[in-house]
Amino acid sequence: MTKQQIAAMAAANYYDVLAVVVEMLRQYAVTLGLLAPGFIEQIAVRNGVDVTVTGTPIYRAMVKRRRNIFNSPKALGEAIQEALDATTYRWGLNRLFLLRVDQLPGGYVGLTLAIGGQ
């Protein structure tokens, strides 16, 4: 498959991935110090789908931070991964693997995710 074909397939899954993130936030937003969005489009970002050099589709989302309760982005990332794991397990879905957490301006947190994972 070409990178364009993988990107097209990933784009078709983007809102499904975001739906899992929204469900996770509905359950765990307070614990994570994040705001739960009212609808999926609130966490979508322009060009939110990409393909790595190795051909792995990645998905990006942006979440508003309520308060900073973690000492580092790594600690926040670990907590988000645990919440994602609980959500995907509960719904019997493929695991979403959090690749990266970015601190963004305006009190936002950027999430970079992949389906499957380590």
2: helix, strand or coil:
coil
Residue of 31, 93, 21, 114 whose CA lies nearest to 63 = 21
Residue of 29, 10, 4, 43 whose CA lies nearest to 84 = 29
Domain count, the chain: 1
Residues spanned by the domain of 9: 3-73+95-115
Residue 87 lies in a domain: no
Rounded CA gap, 92 and 88, in Å? 6
Residue 17 lies in a domain: yes
Residue 54 lies in a domain: yes
Rounded CA gap, 71 and 56, in Å? 30
Q: What is the pTM of this model?
A: 0.89
Average pLDDT per 10 consecutive residues for the chain, totaling 118 residues? 88 92 94 89 89 93 89 91 95 93 91 83
What is the 8-class DSSP label of residue 15? H
> Residue 68's pLDDT is what?
83
> Residue 61's pLDDT is what?
95
Residue 22 lies in a domain: yes
Residue 33 lies in a domain: yes
> Residue 112's pLDDT is what?
95
> Residue 118's pLDDT is what?
52
